[in-house]
Structure 1
């Protein structure tokens, strides 16, 4: 578990109403990433993810490949690890 990290990422751009959260769920499940994703009132999408750096980077690439998804900016913050077993949409 020592190579696992937890990050809070806020995505800006064309990220709501384009299947972003469902792509995130699918990517997380395929990579073994835990955490959550939700839409925010300001049009951004917040996500907390826990996995390896490489898997988190791969997850973001998988989301970006989605039709209509356009990530223009991301704010990333490191967090302490949590005990959880799934990735969910909030």
Structure 2
């Protein structure tokens, strides 16, 4: 059995996503998927999510972010894929 490819997903979520429990919800989903990283409020009203883990788990998180069942309202999700940097422990709200 080959090892799952580890990737880094950075996603910027625009909509009504601050002050509605969105980062907490994202953290809970990420932990369920075995991901490490963070969810941070940005000054322009977006939330930035950095997640590292298997490509399959990151894809699932992205799917959940776009599902319409998040707290608040997600209008758009922009994603960027890159090589994992490591050094992340747990999943934190910033």
- TM-score (norm: length of structure 2): 0.80
Gaps in structure 2 of 5+ consecutive residues: none
Comparing 55-64 with 9-18, greater Cα deviation is found at 55-64
After superposing on structure 2, the runs of 4+ consecutive aligned residues of structure 1 that deviate more than 6 Å are none
User: Matched residues in 2 for 1:64 and 1:57: separation?
Assistant: 16
User: Matched residues in 1 for 2:4 and 2:34: separation?
Assistant: 15
Structure 2 equivalent of residue 85 of structure 1: 89
User: Matched residues in 1 for 2:33 and 2:61: separation?
Assistant: 7
Gaps in structure 1 of 5+ consecutive residues: none
Q: CA deviation at 1:30?
A: 1.1
Cα RMSD for the two superposed structures: 2.0
Structure 1 equivalent of residue 26 of structure 2: 24
Question: Residue 37 of structure 1: which of 39, 58, 74 is its match?
Answer: 39
Q: CA deviation at 1:2?
A: 4.7
Structure 1 equivalent of residue 16 of structure 2: 14
Aligned length: 89
Q: CA deviation at 1:89?
A: 1.1
3-state secondary structure, aligned to 2:89: coil
Structure 1 equivalent of residue 53 of structure 2: 51
